[in-house]
């Protein structure tokens, strides 16, 4: 029962480097999300994909891009990493058309930008 799988779990980058965080879910969920978690800030939505083929900006999209590769996979890309992007990133998924439904989270990816 994998649920939501994120890779990598840890990454250290230098300012200006690029990287992609990968996320895959095996629950046949339509909606997928990327959040970042910072101390004292809670979780803030970066981007989301309500269904395959669509993506939309969340609260803090600047500096990020996303790709909904297929129904299972939703990747987050940092084109030119900045120290302000040091954070823990969580991917989550949710069944379609269920505002009341549970968000299932991955275990997080801890990113440090030097």
Binding site for other proteins (CB under 8 A): 4, 31, 33, 35, 40-45, 48-50, 56, 58, 90, 92, 94, 97-103, 105-108
Helix (H) or strand (E) holding 32: strand 31-38
Residues 71-89 as b or e (16 or more Cβ within 10 Å = b): bbbbbbebeebeeebbbeb
Nearer to other proteins, 17 or 50 (CB): 50
Q: How far is the CB of 100 from other proteins (least distance, A)?
A: 4
Nearer to other proteins, 15 or 98 (CB): 98
Angstrom CA distances, 52 to 35, 41, 56, stand at: 18, 29, 12
Q: How far is the CB of 16 from other proteins (least distance, A)?
A: 29
Measured distance CA(9)–CA(107) in Å, rounded: 8
Nearer to other proteins, 38 or 79 (CB): 38
Q: How far is the CB of 11 from other proteins (least distance, A)?
A: 16
Measured distance CA(104)–CA(40) in Å, rounded: 22
Q: How far is the CB of 110 from other proteins (least distance, A)?
A: 9
Nearer to other proteins, 55 or 65 (CB): 55
């Amino acid at each position: 029962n994998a649920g939501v799988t994120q890779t990598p779990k840890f990454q250290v980058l230098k300012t200006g480097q690029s990287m992609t965080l990968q996320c895959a879910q095996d629950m046949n969920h339509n909606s997928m999300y990327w959040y970042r978690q910072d101390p004292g800030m809670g979780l803030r939505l970066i981007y989301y994909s309500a269904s395959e083929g669509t993506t939309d900006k969340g609260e803090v999209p600047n500096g990020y891009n996303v790709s909904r590769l297929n129904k299972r996979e939703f990747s987050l890309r940092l084109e030119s990493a900045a120290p302000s992007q040091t954070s823990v990133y969580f991917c989550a998924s949710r069944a379609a058309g269920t505002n009341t439904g549970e968000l299932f989270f991955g275990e997080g990816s801890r990113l440090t930008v030097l």
